[in-house]
Amino acid sequence: MTTRRSFLKTSAVLSAGMLIGPKLFAYDKKHIGLQLYTVRDTMAKDPAATLAKVAQIGYNSVEGTYSGPGKFFNVDTKDFSAMLKQNGLIMPSCHYRLGEEKMNGQAANGTILNGWDKAVDDAAEIGLKYMVCAYLADSERGSLDHYKKVAEDFNKAGETCKKAGIQLCYHNHDFEFIQQDGKYPYETLLAHADKNLVKMEMDLYWITKAKQDPIAIFNAHPGRFPLWHIKDMDNTPNRMFTEVGNGIIDFKKIFAHANKAGLKMFFVEQDKCPGDPYNSITQSIAYIKKNLV
């Protein structure tokens, strides 16, 4: 089983998922996105067949991870772009790493801190609208002062993105809500990263796991959250991942505040599935089409 960290290190694909129902917010409702980490094992083996299956199920946009200079999912940019086009998929968003963490003792290329100019060039070539810092490793977190430095790194990277017509974002987990000196690191990132250069991809599962109220955060930082990850939480003591609509997160209530958040695109993601991931993403999209778009 591919892990989140190894997926972020070695795989990639671009992405996008625009959703939206007129009863909830006035955006284009044609697009429902999938974060390809959900189907990471088959993407690693056969990206073409996986993308075809994802499109067959009904998703028409995807979000993935950059695998290094000139490649997405270890496929050359032009070939991968053609693969997506063949399946009627769009890809405005992609995940990246910060790059402080060493990989086999070396600085990883194609990260915010190493080879970012080339990464942005590749993103522009394939048509990305968003480049997202997906995760901070344990060694990349540290004190609030270190989070301030990370925010400065994001600002610099965001300037480079802006020149290419791309928006930089940051994707949360729950560790950003472990208090330090009475403050959350997430608050530090929001305060010290320029609100125009660095926006947020809110993961609704991890926000809920951290016992935070997404609507309160939208109200405190309106327009800062153009991207969302849509994943549900089961009603067990472990609060594990489950299919959208099969858990305890009130997506209808949250989507009613999409305008305040500044939502532009969303992506279904399920980090772990009880069986075949294709069955899980089929169940999730059926709920979304019936209830959210």
Could you tell me the domains of the chain?
A: 4-291 (3.20.20.150)
**How far, in Å, CA of 43 to CA of 284, rounded?**
19
Distance CA 56, CA 202 (A): 27
pLDDT exceeding 70 applies to what percent of the chain? 90
Q: How far is CA 140 from CA 7, 119, 147, 150, 153, in A?
A: 18, 20, 8, 8, 12
Amino acid identity, position 29: K
pLDDT higher than threshold 90 for residue 24: no
Question: What confidence category does residue 31 fall into, taking pLDDT thresholds of 50, 70 and 90?
Answer: confident
Q: What is the pLDDT of residue 22?
A: 35
pLDDT at 27 over 60: no
pLDDT, tens digit, 9 for 90 and up, residues 40-73: 999 999 999 999 999 999 999 999 989 999 999 9
Residues 205-209 have a mean pLDDT of 98
Can you tell me the mean pLDDT for 269-284?
Answer: 98
Band of the pLDDT at 8, cuts 50, 70, 90? low
pLDDT digits (tens, 9 = 90+) for 104-133: 888 889 999 999 999 999 999 999 999 999
* Mode of pairing for the β-strands spanning 130-133 and 227-230: unpaired
**What is the pTM (predicted TM-score) of this model?**
0.91
Residue 276 CA, distance from chain mean position? 22
CA angle (262 as vertex; 257, 264 as ends), nearest 5:
105
Q: What is the per-residue pLDDT for 116?
A: 98
